[in-house]
Copies of this chain bind each other. A is one copy, B any other.
C-alpha cells in the first residue's frame, strides 16, 4: 500500500481552508505557504481569497490535478466531500474531523463504518478521521493543524508515529530538546482505513528515515505490525516503541479513549520481543533512543565499562545499569593490571574504575585508560563520568579515544555544562542524568542484541487426526495421541471401559498409578473429583473406578468413554506449557513452573509462535523458578533440553492445527532428571466447534 500521495504529495487542496491562521482550516495553509510549498489550493465556498491566495468555491474548481485533499470540514460534510474527491481521481485524503468511533456512540461508529466502506469501495487512501495530520520535514510538506511543527526546523532522519495528537506534539518537543531532528511526523488518528502498520511499512522503505519513534495505544493487525517491524530490522533501522496501558488503570483509560479494546499487555510484550523493537519504559525514553541511534553503529549492546572521577558515580551508574537490565562486567586481569599501572594508589580498576584526581595531571592518562577499558570483547559501551570543568579540560583526550575506537563512548556530565556540539561532532554521546542514561543505553543495547524472528519450521509433515467440526474439546487420550504425532512425549495410558477389566489393566500399568475419567465433555476433571492419584493396590483402583464412574454419570449430558490408567511418575519437576490465541497477535505460548506458586508469583514467560527448542529453553531459563530445574538444593538437574524440545513440538502442533484449535495446554509436563526426558502427563485440546453439553 503506497502512501506516497498522502505523505509526499505533489499538490494539495485544503477543503474548508480558513482565513484565520490559528484555526484548524487555516494552520496547514499557512505552514505550507511559509514552507515554500506552492501547489496548495484553498477551497472555501464563502471567500474569494483565503490568506491572500485565490480560494476555489469547490474541489471541482481547483485548476490542477490534486494528490492529497485535506478535509477541514465537519464530520457530517466529510463523506460527501470524499465522494467528490474520488470522482475527480484524487488518490488520497486526510480527515481532521472528530465525531467518529472515538465518541463511543453508535452514531459515531456508524459514521466510521460508512467511511471504511467508502475507502474500500473507492480505493482512496483516507487518513484519520480524528487525526492531526502530518509534518514531512524531509520535503517541507506540512499537512497538520498542530502548531508544534514549524517550517525551518532542521530535517533529520527520525520519524515519529503516534496514535494520539497530543503525544505527537509532546514526543516531538521532548526529542527536539534532546537534539533529535525529524524526517516525518505522523499522527494516525482513528486509523479507520490507513492503519499504524501501513505507515510503519512506508517508513521502513523511506530513504530519509533511519529510525522511528512510536507511541502505541493498540494495534489491530498484529501480523502486519510484525511484518513492518521485520523490514525495519532488515534495513538496520531502529524501531522504538512506547506502549501505554501497562497498568490496569492505564489500560482502562486507553480503552475509553481509543474506542477499541486495548490488547492484552502480555501479548504486546511478547510481540515486541518477537519483533525485536526497542522498548522505552517511559515516554521521554523514546527521544533518548533516537538520540543514541544517531551515534551510529557503535553501540553493540548494554555491557558497559565505567570510568569515573568519583567512586560514588561509578556505584550509582552500576546500580542504574543493573536495574535497567544492563551489565558492568569485571575486566580481565591484564586490563586491570594495565589500569593499575596508569592510576596511582590503590584505586578500583575492576570496573567500575575510579580514575581519581589523577585525571587533571597527565597528558595521555585518560585516552590510555579508555583504550584499556574498551579492549575486552564483552564490553559494548564506555561510560565516562566527568562533570563540568573536568570534561572540558579532558575533552581532547576523549575525542582522541573516540576517533580510535569502534565502540561507543558516552559521557555523563551531571553539571550539564558539556559542549554538546563538540561532542556530537566527535560522535561522543552525552547525558546529564545517570538513570536516564542507563535506561536508554540498556534499551538500545538490548535492541541491538535482539535476534531476528524465528521462521516456522515447515519441514514437519505431521498432521492432526480427523476431528468432527462440531466438537469443542478432545478427550485427554485423544489430545495426547494428537500431540504425540508432532513429537510431544506423552505418558502412555490404558483405556478401561468395563469394571471387569480394571484389575488386569492396573497390574499391567504398575503401581502407583493415576486413574482419570475419559470424556470429551469435561475439561477440568480435578474440580469434579474425576481424577484419582497415587493408587497403590488393585482394590484401590477398582474402588476409584466405581467412584469416578458414579460421579461422571451424575453429570447431565456427559458422554463417558471410560477411564484411563497410567503410571504415576515421580522425581521430576512439573512445568506447564500452553498456547492461547491473542486477538491481535495470534498464537501465544506460555511457559511456567507448575503449581500454585507460579500463579501467585506470576512467574510465567510468554512468546509468540513459532518457538523453536532453543527459544523454548531460553523461556524456561528466564523464569525466576528456573533454579528448580537446575539442580536446586542438591536435587538432580532436570532434562531441560528435552522439556524445550517438547515445548517446541507443542508449538508446531498448534501451528499445524490452525483455526480448528482454540487452546492447547500440557499441564503438567513432567521434566525428569537429566538424560531421562520430559513427558506430558496431561493434555488439553480445546476446539472451535461447539457441542451443547460442554463442561469446560
Contacts and interface: CB of A to CB of B under 8 A. Distances in A.
A256 interface: yes
A113 interface: no
A318 interface: yes
Contacts of A284: 433-436
A257 interface: yes
B282 A435 contact: yes
Contacts of A688: none
Contact of A600 (B314, B388, B389, B624): B624
Interface stretch (A245-253, A470-478, A636-644): A245-253
Given A311-B254, A315-B254, A316-B250, A103 B352 contact: no
Contacts of A545: none
B597 A319 contact: no
Chain copies in the assembled complex: 2
A345 interface: yes
B414 A173 contact: yes
A247 B174 contact: no
A454 interface: no
A409 interface: no
Contact of A601 (B252, B282, B601, B633): B601
Interface string A170-186: 10011001000000000
A173 B166 CA distance: 31
A442 B687 CA distance: 46
A173 B415 contact: yes
A576 to B, nearest CB: 15
Nearest to A167: B312
A244 interface: yes
A468 interface: no
A627 B402 CA distance: 54
A633 B596 contact: yes
Nearest to A284: B433
Instruction: Tell me which of A251, A253, A416 has the highest count of chain B C-beta atoms within 10 A of its own C-beta.
Output: A253
A318 B250 contact: yes
Contact of A624 (B170, B313, B601): B601
A169 B309 CA distance: 13
Contacts of A320: 282
Interface in A164-208: 164-167, 169-170, 173-174, 177
A349 to B, nearest CB: 10
Contacts of A328: 249
Contact of A250 (B170, B258, B322): B322
A580 interface: no
A177 B387 CA distance: 15
Interface string A588-606: 0000000011001101000
A245 B600 contact: no
Given A254-B311, A352-B253, A414-B173, A316 B597 contact: no
A163 to B, nearest CB: 8
A283 interface: yes
Contact of A167 (B248, B313, B597, B600): B313
B315 A253 contact: yes
Interface in A414-454: 414-416, 433-436
B247 A323 contact: yes
Given A217-B315, A434-B282, A600-B627, A323 B164 contact: no
A354 interface: yes
A164 B317 CA distance: 14
A329 to B, nearest CB: 9
A253 B105 contact: no
Contacts of A257: 311-312, 314-315, 348, 354
A317 to B, nearest CB: 8
A415 B319 contact: no
A163 B313 CA distance: 12
Contacts of A137: none
Given A148-B415, A169-B387, A244-B312, A319 B625 contact: no
Contacts of A389: 147
A145 interface: no
A79 interface: no
A215 interface: yes
A464 interface: no
Instruction: Tell me which of A315, A328, A416 has the highest count of chain B C-beta atoms within 10 A of its own C-beta.
Output: A315
Contacts of A104: 346
Contact of A244 (B164, B315, B387, B601): B315
Contacts of A148: 415
Nearest to A601: B601
A596 B632 contact: yes
A262 to B, nearest CB: 9
A166 B309 contact: yes
A633 B633 CA distance: 29
Given A173-B415, A247-B321, 15 more contacts: A163-B312, A165-B310, A166-B309, A166-B310, A169-B388, A169-B415, A170-B387, A174-B414, A217-B315, A244-B319, A252-B318, A253-B352, A257-B354, A600-B632, A601-B625
9 contacts: A104-B346, A169-B387, A173-B415, A247-B323, A249-B328, A253-B314, A282-B320, A600-B627, A601-B625
Lowest 7 A-B CB distances belong to which pairs?
A257-B311, A247-B322, A250-B319, A164-B312, A166-B310, A253-B315, A249-B318
